[in-house]
Amino acid sequence: MKTPFHLKAVWILFVGCILFFSQLFAAKLEIPKSLNSVDRRAALEVLGTGSQLRLMGDPYPLGGYWGIDVGVSRDAIPTSSLSELGTQTSLKKEVGIWSITLGKGLYYNVDAFLNFVPFGQEDQVSSFGGGLRWLFYEMSYRPIYFSLQGGANSASFQNLINFSNQSLEVLASVVQKDLTFYSGLGMIRSTGIFIGGVRGVTQDSTTQLEALSSERIILGVSYRWKDFYGAVQVDRAISANYALKAGYRF
């Protein structure tokens, strides 16, 4: 049964209000300066892996033909530990990044996704990325299925620190009526470029590159109502992060 037009309109209005009010009440992230090698590594562990691409929601394939997913999400990155780095700037405890995800079902249980951060956020964060997800096994006698997903994105914080992330995970999902519980295990690689110069963030005023690889654990739950859904996800690479998402599938 098709979702009534007025419900679609309410969903669009809800998403618009979230994006609008997130700008009114956001506090700007102050990035510490004079970062040495140890400090840069710590910043990469927090902001690099924290800004990774998250393909949230029910991992079940969208299908072909229309098979489209549109969602808005908020990723929360704990940043209190950054206050101990470099110049020890007074920082807020958490950075919230709002992003929009577009998904399209392809064939053979494969979905493709694009994710981007709208311009104008107070923390001056930009991000763009994409990913693929493939359901490779579904049990015939139990509502359990397994998926493989991979993604990559680039993120920038105030044009002072630029990150590049790549990840690959295996997911296991269990369906209970309108609820889907999923968990995953995989790897992430994060590379950070720390800008030098007079207005840069490095201790020696030269642009520096740092990189790391880490295991990634994912736990999430998605609830579906008609063609709408909401999801909560917690993942951990080096530090733990959580994210919320509201979306519409058609």
pLDDT tens, position by position, 117-127: 987 565 578 89
Residues 6+ apart with CB under 8 A from 138: 144, 145, 146
pTM of the predicted model as reported, rounded to 2 decimal places: 0.87
Distance CA 223, CA 41 (A): 37
Predicted local confidence at residue 61, as pLDDT: 92
Angle at alpha carbon of residue 97, lines to 3 and 235, rounded to 5°: 85
Using alpha carbons, list the distances in angstroms from residue 217 to 112, 176, 235.
Answer: 22, 22, 5
Specify the number of domains making up the chain: 1
Tokens describing residue 227: 């063609």
Helices and strands counted in the chain (H then E)? 3, 10
Q: Which residues of 96-107 are buried (b: 16+ CB within 10 A; e: fewer)?
A: bbbbbbebebee
**CATH code of the domain covering residue 54:** 2.40.160.20
Distance CA 81, CA 85 (A): 8
Q: Are 176 and 222 in contact (CB under 8 A)?
A: no
DSSP SS3 for 239: coil
Domain that holds residue 149: 5-249
Residues 6+ apart with CB under 8 A from 65: 105
Distance CA 221, CA 140 (A): 22
Predicted local confidence at residue 10, as pLDDT: 58
Distance CA 46, CA 240 (A): 9
Residues 6+ apart with CB under 8 A from 9: none
Q: One digit per residue, pLDDT tens: the chain, 250 residues?
A: 455 655 555 555 555 555 555 554 445 678 888 999 999 999 999 999 999 999 988 899 998 667 899 999 999 888 888 888 887 765 667 788 889 999 999 988 999 999 999 875 655 788 999 999 999 999 988 999 999 999 999 999 989 999 999 999 999 999 998 999 999 999 999 999 999 988 899 999 999 999 999 999 999 999 998 888 999 999 999 888 999 999 888 8
